[in-house]
Each structure stands twice: as C-alpha cells, then as structure tokens.
Amino acid sequence: MMKRSPLKPALALMLAAGLLSACSLAPTYQRPAAPVAAEFPAVPPAGGAKAQPARAADAKTAVDTGWREYFADARLQQLIAAALDNNRDLRVAVLRMEEARAAYNIQSADRLPNLNVGLSESRGKTPASVSNNGQISRNQRYDANLSLAAFELDFFGRVKSLSDAALASYLATDEARQSAQIGIVAEVAKAYFTERAYAEQYTLAQRTYEARKRTFDLTQQRVEVGASSRLDLRSNETLMETARASALALARQRAQAANALTLLVGQGVTADGAMASDAQIDAMSALPEGLPSELLARRPDIRAAEQRLQAANANIGAARAAFFPRVSLTAAIGSASPSFSGLFDGGTGSWSFVPQLTLPIFDAGRNKANLNLSEVRKNIAVADYEKSIQVAFREVADALAARTYLGEQVAAQRAIQEAQAERLRLLQLRFENGVASSLDVLDAQRELFSAEQSLVQARLLRATSAIDLYRALGGGLK
C-alpha cells in the first residue's frame, strides 16, 4: 500500500487559501460625486468686451497638447527641458514614486510563500556528571532542508487589502510626480515670460530716461540764456529722475526674476528672446475648456487624491480582517544525518508541518480603534478628494474668466498707449509753435510712459493666464 505523503494536506490547504484569498472585507469602492456644477460658469462680456469666438469641436484639448507644441519659443523649450532634468522638487517627486513602488513590492511579496534552503551543522558535548550513563557523550548532526516560513493563509483578505493599499499609494505618488511635472512646466514658462516682460519694461524705462535727460540738458541750456524758467528745469528733472528710478527698480525686478528662473531650471541660465507676441498668446488662449467631469481624467492631482482614497478604503478591509482568526503555516522537508557524507543517504529524510491558528480574544480595544482610525482616514481622504475637485474647478473657472477679459484689456491698453503717443506728438508740435506749454508736454510724456508700462503688464497677465488655463486643464506631460 502506497504511503500518503504528509505534505499533501499542506499543499491542499495552501491551494484552498489561494482560492479564498480573493475574499476581501474592504468596502466596495464607489467614487464620490463631484461637488461642483455640471458646467463651468459662463462669463458674460462686460464693458463692451466682445464674446469669445466659438472653439472648434475638433480642437485639441490641453491634455493632448504637449508642452513643446504649446510653447513655440525655442529658448523656452530649452529651459523647460533643462528644468525637467535638473529641478530638485521634481527629482524628489520621482524618488518618492520609487520609494512607494519599493514599499508596494515589499507588501505584495507577503501574498506569496517564502521558500528558504538551509544547510546547518551542530555539535555538542555532554559531561559525564550529567549524562544518563555516567559517560561523556558527544553528538554531531547535519541538516539540509527546504522550508516554508510562516506563510499566512489569507482567508479574510487581510494581506490582500494591505497589498491593494500599497499599490494605490504607489499609483498616487506616480500621479503626484506627473502633477509636479505639469507644475514645473507652467512655472518655468511663467518665470521666463515674467523675466522677459521686466526686460522689455526696463528697455522702455532706460530709453525714456535717456530721452528725458536730453530734454533736461537742453532745458538747462535754455535756462542759462534766459529762454526757459527754473520751474521748467525742475519739472524736467523730476521726470528724468522718475524714469531713472523706474529703470533701477525694473533692473532689480528683472534680476530677481532671473534668479527665480535659475532656481526652477536647476542650473545657471541666460534668458534671451522676446516676450510672447499677441499672436502666440492668442494661440495659447484658444484651448477648449470641456466639462468639469473631464477634469477627473485630465488632472493628475485629482487622480492622486482618488488613489489615496482607494488606499484608505483598502486599509478598512485590513482592519476588519484583524477581528477574525489568522492562520499561518510553517513547513519543511529535508534530510538529517550524523555525518555530512551520509546526509542524502536513504532513510535520512525529515519533514515538519506546523499550522498555527491565532484567534484574538482580548486586545484592550486595539482592533476596534484601528478600524475606527481607518474609517476616519477614509473620510479624510473623501474630503481631500472633493477639495481637489473644487480647487481644480475654481482654477479653470478663474483662467476662463481671465481669458474672457484680458484680451480686451490688452486691446484697450494698447489703444491708450497709441492715443498717448499721438497726444505727445501733437503737443510737441504745439509747443514748437508756441501754442502749448512745456508742462503740457511733460505731462504727456509721463502719461505715455505709464501707458507703455501698463501695456507690457497687461500682455504678461494675459500670457500667464493662458499658462494657468493650460495647467488647470491638465496639460504639459509630453
């Protein structure tokens, strides 16, 4: 009669555990409803502003538009590429993702048995005074075995729930890395255009200062011959020094903007090129906004919040499983012999099979507290997920409002600048013909300088709002 192998019951038990491990006590996950309106708020034209043109139905969305396609400036593309390689914040985000992936690999390994091969030797000596036969005894033993170390049979899905939670945490950090990448792309573009705007304003201020200095020198000569008053001289001096102070302030702001850009890029940079043209800003602003529900799939920060919610949901399953018995299995098969040469001879086989059942009886409320903690953390994750959606909705709505009004604001500011330039030209003609006073000319120069600076600022606001819309809609990964 064939002798039944003692390991067959263990293998059968492991197979049954594998079938039952699909059971889980985690709550069925349901995505919370988005706590926002079904559509973005409409922004009606105001103050004579024209309505935005209809977006083409087949226009590419932000998530389908790579940053190289969105930002046409070659120098800006180089800076963004360098930032994606060198930025320390993004590097930390990548390392956090690697950390979470390693943690998931460790946790998921608990779902499979750990097999170990062992080879050991033991020697001992028993003195005659304590020996049973009154003689010195010596013993020696060699063991070789293949062992299964304390493998938990996951009847109630505790290990599976912990593995699911670790996987969701890993996916959340990966989404966080993508969100950080989008943020770096947007921040580099905004810092670049800010530095270029300051450079343009500085050029205007320096040019204005040089022109006013020439006027001041000419007025000083006229005062010396009695052709102008000292009041005219001091008025010209005030305008000249005002332009000089503005130029110095803009030089400082430009240097600080360059430092901010250097920090984002992660290496020394030399900014050159020009501020984005109106045509480029128009192209950047022409993104279709879509619907709020589409943000759930577009924005990695929302997807990261949902993965954290799923991790919290899985941890509830692990906390519930802690109330039930835990079954673990330790087994080994091998050979034992008093001599190494006879270790694998016939009749030296050995085996062990140690199932263990642990049933919680009294834990001073620890398991209940752990379950309560898991449920509270899930509620926190739900609130965090809903807040992420609300923040995303607000960011898109703000960017759409800016897109509606800033285009007309730039047009109005350009009309002011052109009108001030023409006013100055006419007053200079009148002054040369003795009709207007020098104070009228000085006032026109001051107003023109202010209009030129305001136009640059309005164009910068429109460019940064287009970048904010691109970022808010989930673009920038490619």
Give me the mean pLDDT over the 84-95 stretch. 89
What is the average per-residue pLDDT within 45-50? 53
Cα–Cα distance, 154 to 164 (Å, whole number): 14
Task: Mean pLDDT check: name the lowest of 7-16, 67-76, 331-340, 352-361.
Answer: 7-16
Task: Compute φ and ψ for 231, nearest 5 degrees.
Answer: -65, -45
Strand partners, 119: 144
Going from the C-alpha of 134 to that of each of 137, 140, 345, the distances in angstroms are 9, 19, 32
* pLDDT at residue 271 in the model: 67
Distance, in Å, from the CA atom of 165 to the CA atom of 441, rounded to the nearest integer, reads 72
- Residue whose C-alpha is closest to residue 345's, from 358, 360, 335, 353: 335
Please name each of the domains of the chain with its CATH number. Answer: 46-113+156-324+369-472 (1.20.1600.10)
> What's the pTM value of the predicted model, to 2 decimals?
0.81
Asked whether the beta carbons of 458 and 410 are under 8 A apart, the reply is yes
Give the C-alpha distances (Å, rounded to integers) separating 56 from 60, 61, 399: 9, 11, 19
Among 132-141, 295-304, 373-382, 424-433, the minimum mean pLDDT is found in 132-141
Torsions phi, psi for 9 (to 5 deg): -60, -35
What pLDDT score does 53 carry? Answer: 44
Split at pLDDT 50, 70, 90, the class of 1 is: very low
Task: Record the tokens describing residue 55, joined without a space.
Answer: 């977006």
Output the CA angle 295-300-302, nearest 5 degrees.
60
Angle value at C-alpha 471, between 82 and 255, nearest 5 degrees: 50
52/463 Cα distance (integer angstroms): 16
Look at residue 9 in the predicted model and tell me its pLDDT. Answer: 53
Chain segment 447-459, per-residue pLDDT in tens: 999 999 999 999 9
Give 113-126 pLDDT, tens digit per residue: 888 888 888 888 77
% of the chain at pLDDT higher than 90: 38
- SS3 (DSSP) at 466: helix
| CA 237 from centre of chain | 51
Helix (H), strand (E) at residue 126: strand 115-126
Q: Confidence band (pLDDT; 50, 70, 90) for 340? A: confident
Instruction: Tell me: pLDDT of 10 over 60.
Output: no
Look at residue 196 and tell me whether its pLDDT is greater than 60.
Answer: yes
Looking up tokens 């052109």, which residue turns up? Answer: 418
Give every strand in the sheet of 137-153, ordered side by side.
115-126, 137-153, 326-337, 349-358
**Which has the higher per-residue pLDDT, 438 or 78?**
78
Query: Is the distance from CB of 158 to CB of 177 less than 8 angstroms?
Result: no
Could you tell me which residues come within 8 angstroms of residue 94 by beta carbon, excluding any fewer than 6 positions away? Answer: 177
Question: Positive or negative CA dihedral for 407, 410, 416, 420?
Answer: negative
Question: For residue 473, which of 403, 392, 384, 391 has the smallest C-alpha distance?
Answer: 392
Mention every residue, 6+ apart, whose C-beta is less than 8 A from residue 176: 93, 96, 97, 300, 301, 304
Q: Are 405 and 49 in contact (CB under 8 A)?
A: yes
